[in-house]
């Protein structure tokens, strides 16, 4: 993936930076201004909620951030690289490397089992046969689907399908996780366990998670709550500091940050 940051590049803490990004949908004479010029940043360690009424533009914003849709205007940087000036052919690779996306509409392959759906992403990310089987099983166990991982999406409930999407988004250790209403199809207890799982991904200090939700009860987990109204994004103030500690790729805590860990561990987040 030439041109992308690699293992030798310095670590970038600002994972996403949107500047004056807008999106209009046009069909014939009709134009829907789904996203008015909006700016947003997402840093490692942040667990951000995006709230807003139905039709306010949350999915549109997420799809633009997730490089699934081109914005009408504005600039998008992923890990410091301006993707709006990149060739379109580079975007799938960049998305695969950095972004795990949990879709509001699941987007699973119906002919593949839960296990195969997760393994497919790992294959695209370059995992070998044995390691992708092992990793897919671990991920499906983490979301509570180990016992039915050989079933196809059509043989599972909406909540179980949602959990396959979550396992798939976690596959391959993406540093950015964008989740579009990940708890909408889940009962309260399962929803909270999934939110805690996503929050814990951010708490490592290595990842950033943005979750679209209609559920204000989730605010207690957030480091920031942004709001969307009629396509206008209003960024929230930080509610609590994002973790100052970081864990490197080998799982080692950066020594110069250790004194701050106790402080973070004591916080409600």
Ligand X SMILES: Nc1ncnc2c1ncn2[C@@H]1O[C@H](COP(=O)(O)OP(=O)(O)OP(=O)(O)O)[C@@H](O)[C@H]1O
- In the complex, the residues that contact Mg ion under the rule CB under 5 A are 59, 104
Choose between 42 and 122: whose C-beta lies nearer to ligand X: 42
Instruction: Write down the least CB distance from residue 197 to ligand X, Å.
Output: 22
Instruction: Write down the least CB distance from residue 158 to ligand X, Å.
Output: 15
- Going by C-alpha positions, the residue among 95, 26, 15, 25 that lies closest to residue 57 is 25
d(CA 139, CA 42): 24
Residue 50, beta-bridge partner list:
212, 226
Instruction: Write down the least CB distance from residue 28 to ligand X, Å.
Output: 11
Choose between 56 and 223: whose C-beta lies nearer to Mg ion: 56
Choose between 34 and 197: whose C-beta lies nearer to ligand X: 34
Instruction: Write down the least CB distance from residue 48 to Mg ion, Å.
Output: 16
Supply 106's token pair: 């699941």
Binding partner of 54, given ligand X, Mg ion, none, CB within 5-8 angstroms per partner class: ligand X
Instruction: Write down the least CB distance from residue 181 to Mg ion, Å.
Output: 7
Choose between 53 and 241: whose C-beta lies nearer to ligand X: 53
- Ranges assigned E (strand) in the chain: 14-27, 30-43, 47-51, 73-78, 81-82, 99-102, 176-180, 208-212, 224-229, 232-234
Choose between 22 and 104: whose C-beta lies nearer to Mg ion: 104
Choose between 158 and 238: whose C-beta lies nearer to ligand X: 158
d(CA 231, CA 60): 9
Instruction: Write down the least CB distance from residue 223 to ligand X, Å.
Output: 22
Binding partner of 32, given ligand X, Mg ion, none, CB within 5-8 angstroms per partner class: ligand X
Choose between 133 and 235: whose C-beta lies nearer to ligand X: 235
Q: Give the interface with ligand X as residue ranges (CB under 6 A).
A: 25, 32, 34, 52, 54-60, 104
C-alpha separations of 216 from 17, 35, 49, 50 in Å: 25, 22, 9, 10
Binding partner of 3, given Mg ion, ligand X, none, CB within 5-8 angstroms per partner class: none
Number of H helices, E strands in the chain: 7, 10
Sheet holding 30-43, edge to edge: 30-43, 14-27, 73-78, 81-82
Binding partner of 38, given Mg ion, ligand X, none, CB within 5-8 angstroms per partner class: none
DSSP string for 164-182: HHHHHHHTT--SEEEEEST
Instruction: Write down the least CB distance from residue 120 to Mg ion, Å.
Output: 25
Which residue matches tokens 């999934």?
A: 194
């Amino acid at each position: 993936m030439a041109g992308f940051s690699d293992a030798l590049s310095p670590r970038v803490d600002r994972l996403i930076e949107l500047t004056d990004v807008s999106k209009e949908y046009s069909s014939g004479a009709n134009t829907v201004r789904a996203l008015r010029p909006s700016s947003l940043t997402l840093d490692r360690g942040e667990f951000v909620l995006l709230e807003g009424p139905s039709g306010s533009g949350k999915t549109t914003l997420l799809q633009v951030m997730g490089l699934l849709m081109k914005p009408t205007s504005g600039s998008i940087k992923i890990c410091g690289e301006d993707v709006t000036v990149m060739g379109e052919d580079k975007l799938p690779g960049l998305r695969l490397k950095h972004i795990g996306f949990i879709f509001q509409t699941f987007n699973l392959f119906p002919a593949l089992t839960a296990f195969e759906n997760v393994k497919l992403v790992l294959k695209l990310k370059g995992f070998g046969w044995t390691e992708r089987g092992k990793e897919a099983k671990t991920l499906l166990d983490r979301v509570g689907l180990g016992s039915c991982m050989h079933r196809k999406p059509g043989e599972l409930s909406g909540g179980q399908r949602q959990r396959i999407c979550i396992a798939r988004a976690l596959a391959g250790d993406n540093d950015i996780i964008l989740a579009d209403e990940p708890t909408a199809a889940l009962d309260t207890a399962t929803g909270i366990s999934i939110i805690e799982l996503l929050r814990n991904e951010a708490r490592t200090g290595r990842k950033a998670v943005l979750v679209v939700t209609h559920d204000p009860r989730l605010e207690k987990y957030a480091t920031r709550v942004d709001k969307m109204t009629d396509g206008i994004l209003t960024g929230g103030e930080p509610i609590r500091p994002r973790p100052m500690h970081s864990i490197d790729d080998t799982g080692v805590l950066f020594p110069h940050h250790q004194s701050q860990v106790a402080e973070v561990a004591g916080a409600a987040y």
